[in-house]
Structure 1
Amino acid sequence: MVIVYQSHTGFTKEYAQMLGKAEKMKTYTLEEAERQLLSDAQVFYMGPLTAGHIGGLDRSMKRWKIQAVCGVGMSQPGEGTMASLRRSNYVGDAPLFYLQGGWAPKKVGWLKRRMVNMVTRSTRKALEAKGSARTPQEQAMLDMLLHGGSFVAFENLEPIRAWLKTRA
């Protein structure tokens, strides 16, 4: 199995490369994979979330044998995030994972910055309203939404690594 990923701001790429190195799996960008992989390739697909949809997933599902899928987004992981991910992305019987990436406003155009600011406005307002009652996690989330930041961490890959071990 190989890892194929699409990344816009670098968070998915970072996770894909960490996972590839840890599990000794080859990693390809979606564009590289389209040029190099055969249609029977077994793929672990990773892509960034945009409005709940995993970028590049549809192209990959049509092209390769998708073994599992991982979306990378700004939201904190949890049941609500996973339920939304399942509703918005068809992955068949493939396991679905989610990793919290981050927000890099300087790496996207003004339109995407504006869209993200509109979508996250209520979250920002709710977190700001908590004032000193914010937890450290909530403060980190607010800082990321206001200024950008990353939640990429090797330990976040543990559920995926555990799943990969069951396939060995």
Structure 2
Amino acid sequence: LGVRVRWCGRRDRIDTSLASALTLVESLTSNNDVLSLTLCVDYGGRDELTDAARALAAEAAAGTIRPEDIGPADLARNMYAPGLPDVDLLIRTSGEQRISNFLPWHLAYAELVFDPTPWPDFGLAGLREALTTYAGRQRRFGGTIPGPARPVGPAPAP
């Protein structure tokens, strides 16, 4: 049923009218399930992780969670957009080879493609090339146990 719009960022630091508009769009599209569009407005990855840690510290101080029981799912539920899926592919344009404090939690196992083309000029040909590169990679998700490599793309025809 269409595109779900989500907002990821500091809600307390932007103009009230913009915050209200973003909240309204999120609400109006919350049941859509064809595609998800996440708008990062006033976003910083270190701020997000710090705020999530503060929220967990407050829960621990209130006695609603024991510090030794805190795990990755607890941190994830305190992110700016809980339930935001991990990134599979990050395409960084303009020749930059860094993530620039962008979604560090969600990029943990992302495949990265660096393209020298400036953003305004990056088009369909660059996207296709990045997707081809991604499809040729074998994703391991940080596993330490050796096992069969799992290609990203479709299985070869028999």
- TM-score tier, shorter chain, comes to under 0.3
Q: TM-score, normalised by structure 2?
A: 0.24
Greater relative CO (CA pairs within 8 A, separation 6+): 1
Q: TM-score, normalised by structure 1?
A: 0.23
Q: Relative to total residues, which structure has the larger helix share, 1 or 2?
A: 1
